[in-house]
Structure 1
């Protein structure tokens, strides 16, 4: 097999590949709205038919929600599990779109040609980069290069309620050597990236309770404990004002410093800190001192206040001391941080600071998930990084991600698989927003990249 023949086939077939993507994009597979249930089924059927046409034995598998698509092809060498999702976000507000979200078109923009339409970047365009690489490989060689399992879900944009039960029930069938996920962005335009660490998540919510009823502030202002003042004082104690560090005792247990080689890659990855900050109205970073913006975003834990409320919130004034005040928090976790242990520490921090006559009530129905840290010492990671570097003509980087992609953690906890997260989206793709797009270059070079990665992994 000559890799160059596969790449040439990809180049020649790009118009047909784009047409196939457009066909999939026309299906309004909005998973969160029951009105589109038939369309989600239609998108799953489309993928089943397309994979079967490639010689991949594929089925639509029922779940309590939208169906899974599972396909298998045998082969020698490594066993790869490729994951993507065919469902998309709602399109509201529709009036902000410049065209019908489900009538995709190629448009010329100052940054180049783009595919405009809902799902173009998240995740149909990305999903199809891998499928099209396999199509070209099959056309040139008559078969795919190794054993591959295709695993597509239809509920990613609505919380994946069927995912964990399905994976648990079908763990043996879904087993592989390594998982591939194409649902991420490049760290900067034209800079190929492999996400090697994802922050975990801890959610909690508490209520500070003071008097048994709302009180007249003229009668009790002064001697009365005000839960809003109490919660403001406690929330202020979460962080050290001088350093920006979280001041909860033991908060940083399990946090590791970034290795020097990874820091070097991050420093040269083309990330524009000023643009990142200025785009949302900041003039400087506001996290931990002595850590770069990328380190703060990818490799440092956080404790954020997501909601703080109580008392009267209507028009005008109401002179009350409220009986309760409420706070929602989330923590982004890194390294080996244990969400259950951290929850106990945060609650202990709050409870130790309660004034007399103040009580706290916790919400006990919120979840936590550990960070996902991939073993980049595995040879597959370096092989894929070199393949990406060859295609994009610049050094690919192992990067972090500030958010959480639950499927990567599920692959680890349920299937015991490391995952390589390799995507070709750009930060300006407007995913989840009006006028979503996917650069035509991302689609084209994404297909070529997967072909190179397949070649590299079969030789790793």
Structure 2
């Protein structure tokens, strides 16, 4: 069936107060999954999420995972209809940056600009998808829709796979759509079909039981910070970003020329990229090379070096221990397990006293940027935002995506709504009604489009 544009426009306008009220309630719960002291807030978020779905007349379950629960809810109108699962997450990043201009968990609505941690990552997009689903169902679109709202995405989804084993509460769908990604620029929809993987690691070196006076011991004492910096220099070329760990690039699948052309059609602009993220300079200014590097190439990043003295002035000590925090973004066909083994072996040869510990892993994901489901996304985005999307990869990682791919073997698509300026993982995060209202329309159309693909359903 076809969505009637005038009915959808009226529905979106009527839904705005409800969207704003629900987003305000959600943002004001500090559901920070990586902070154990916020476990009560995570429980509050799960209760509110369940209540919201229940108020929308969904069949709702809070699924135990061994960690924080997954809220699963949906509507099954007819077993012969195709089933779409919509994935979002309700946990958020911490908000301790000094640059915040307001209390991060005090929701502000400034005439359609919605400020607060979690507004764009990922509570606002989740509500837009939900309101789009309600319209489609009210219009009698022949489709079954289920929502999965996770509460551990920001810590790598460690218990998500366990949750999916509860098949009565989380049944296998025919396809999945994820709304947790970022466009390139406002007015230029961009939908990813791939995500980089991730592995984090801590490299620690203890050479003494305490800090020592550098005037008394310097020259004879080993300096763990200097030795860790030597390892960092051996692992990555700081100026070019080239990873120097032997064998690191062996399994990398490079993007095709068609993929690079699609990247460039996305509206990516180097100047806007620099402005959005506050960069003064980049390693390269070539658009094709920048997009390749941030979406389709692996990396080795240094996140922090700790140990020694960090106060004002210079305290002349030799540190007794140091720690280097690093990560590697991975692309198909790399695996976190092999990348970590290569790192550990390389560091062991450089300095056998350094302890290398893994701090979480996520596998890369690559879907398709053509085919019937991609056509559905294309038509839906055009109806919602007036322009067809470009198909790109995204440099970040969403652990649940690979888990769903492995568990269900069904098409996984992305219909993200966030903009670079919205501040993913950054201070002063916000979402806006323009993206929300367009998202409601796009999702309503997407469900109608997928309903037409009933003949392509996966066998169960």
What TM-score results when the alignment is normalised by the length of structure 1?
Answer: 0.84
- Residue equivalent to 1:12: 10
CA distance in 2, matches of 1:82, 1:422: 10
Q: Secondary structure at the match of 2:121?
A: coil
The 5 A counterparts of 1:413-428 are 413-428=406-421
- Residue equivalent to 2:72: 69
RMSD in angstroms over aligned alpha carbons? 3.2
- Residue equivalent to 1:123: 122
Shift of 1:380: 1.2
CA distance in 2, matches of 1:223, 1:168: 57
Q: Secondary structure at the match of 1:395?
A: coil
Deviations 1:259-313 (A, max 9, x none): 2222112212222212322455534322799962221111111101112233344
Deviations 1:305-337 (A, max 9, x none): 112233344455444433433211100111110
- Residue equivalent to 2:457: none
Shift of 1:139: 3.0
Deviations 1:174-227 (A, max 9, x none): 311221111222221111222111111111112234467655544554454433
- Say whether the 8 Å CA contact 1:51–1:58 is kept in structure 2: no
Q: Name which of structure 1's ranges 418-427 and 282-291 shifts more when overlaid on structure 2.
A: 282-291
Q: Secondary structure at the match of 1:230?
A: helix
- Residue equivalent to 1:50: 55
- Residue equivalent to 1:83: 87
CA distance in 1, matches of 2:10, 2:141: 19
Shift of 1:350: 1.9
Shift of 1:250: 0.9
- Residue equivalent to 1:110: none
Q: Name which of structure 1's ranges 319-328 and 264-273 shifts more when overlaid on structure 2.
A: 319-328
- Say whether the 8 Å CA contact 1:68–1:151 is kept in structure 2: yes
Tell me whether 1:296 sits opposite 2:293 in the alignment. Answer: yes
- Say whether the 8 Å CA contact 1:89–1:118 is kept in structure 2: yes
CA distance in 1, matches of 2:200, 2:9: 46
Counterparts in 2 of 1:280 and 1:431: CA distance versus 1, 3 Å: closer
What TM-score results when the alignment is normalised by the length of structure 2?
Answer: 0.84
Counterparts in 2 of 1:437 and 1:283: CA distance versus 1, 3 Å: closer
Shift of 1:246: 0.9
Counterparts in 2 of 1:393 and 1:368: CA distance versus 1, 3 Å: same
Tell me whether 1:359 sits opposite 2:365 in the alignment. Answer: no
Structure 1: 5+ residue runs without aligned partners?
Answer: 108-112
Q: Which has the larger radius of gyration?
A: 1
Tell me whether 1:25 sits opposite 2:23 in the alignment. Answer: yes
Counterparts in 2 of 1:256 and 1:45: CA distance versus 1, 3 Å: closer
The 5 A counterparts of 1:153-232 are 153-156=150-153, 160=157, 162-170=159-167, 173-210=170-207, 216-232=213-229
CA distance in 2, matches of 1:177, 1:188: 31
Tell me whether 1:444 sits opposite 2:442 in the alignment. Answer: no
Deviations 1:65-110 (A, max 9, x none): 4562322413344321112234556666799556995555351xxx
Shift of 1:438: 2.3
CA distance in 2, matches of 1:290, 1:241: 21
> Which of 415, 423, 428 is the equivalent residue of 1:430?
423
Counterparts in 2 of 1:10 and 1:372: CA distance versus 1, 3 Å: same
CA distance in 2, matches of 1:417, 1:294: 28
